[in-house]
Amino acid sequence: MRQATPLKKVILDMRTNTICWNPMEAFIFTAANEDYNLYTFDMRALDTPVMVHMDHVSAVLDVDYSPTGKEFVSASFDKSIRIFPVDKSRSREVYHTKRMQHVICVKWTSDSKYIMCGSDEMNIRLWKANASEKLGVLTSREKAAKDYNEKLKEKFRYHPHIKRIARHRHLPKPIYSQIQEQRVMKEARRRKEVNRLKHSKPGSVPMVSEKKKHVVAVVK
């Protein structure tokens, strides 16, 4: 705060558009990057991200944390917004509409119930943080039924059919086709790395983890 020069500087492969600090853990922040990913860093160890969050298919333009600090929402150039748990690499929810264009900014409300986003076609949209949550006052029986259903979901979450239903999200065709294309490209890169490792002298080709791939340098 009192110095004109930075204490540490981390350089990534591509440009970072914005960062957001975790409101509950003062040393954790998440960076929204041009390479379609988000990187959660611990400021005490900047050489490796704590988590790489991957799901977007275009540049990530904005990010904001929920007041609980357990989740954050990201806005992307691919015309969608996604909600990520802090400790997971994949999003738990994706929001999109036919008319919504490139999403420029996103904010999580202080009561942790709603998400607001602003997009290119000059509209502000209000979304529920939990898509299936019932709004308004709940009776005691409704609360009990809701809690019971949540416990059932938690109990059977590893069952293949339940897992598939819980994970499935409808996506627009352009996003879906881009995801398939990126999957093929990623598999090709992985195959190339495995072959290079297999056919070279032991120890000559280092194994680089996904977390370290995108960090170019840390300047102290």
Phi, psi of 70 (to 5 degrees): -95, -15
Q: At 81, which CATH number?
A: 2.130.10.10
Residue 90 domain-assigned (yes or no): yes
Domain of residue 63 covers: 9-131+204-219
Percentage of the chain beyond pLDDT 70 is: 100
- The answer to whether 78 and 32 are in contact (CB under 8 A) is no
pLDDT bucket at 206, cuts 50 / 70 / 90: confident
Residue 27 domain-assigned (yes or no): yes
Residue 192 domain-assigned (yes or no): no
Residue 41 domain-assigned (yes or no): yes
Residue 212 domain-assigned (yes or no): yes
pLDDT bucket at 34, cuts 50 / 70 / 90: very high
Percentage of the chain beyond pLDDT 90 is: 78
How many structural domains comprise the chain? Answer: 1
* pTM of the shown model: 0.89
pLDDT tens readout for residues 98-147: 999 999 999 999 999 999 999 999 999 999 999 988 888 999 999 999 99
pLDDT reading at 187 higher than 90: yes
Residue 197 domain-assigned (yes or no): no
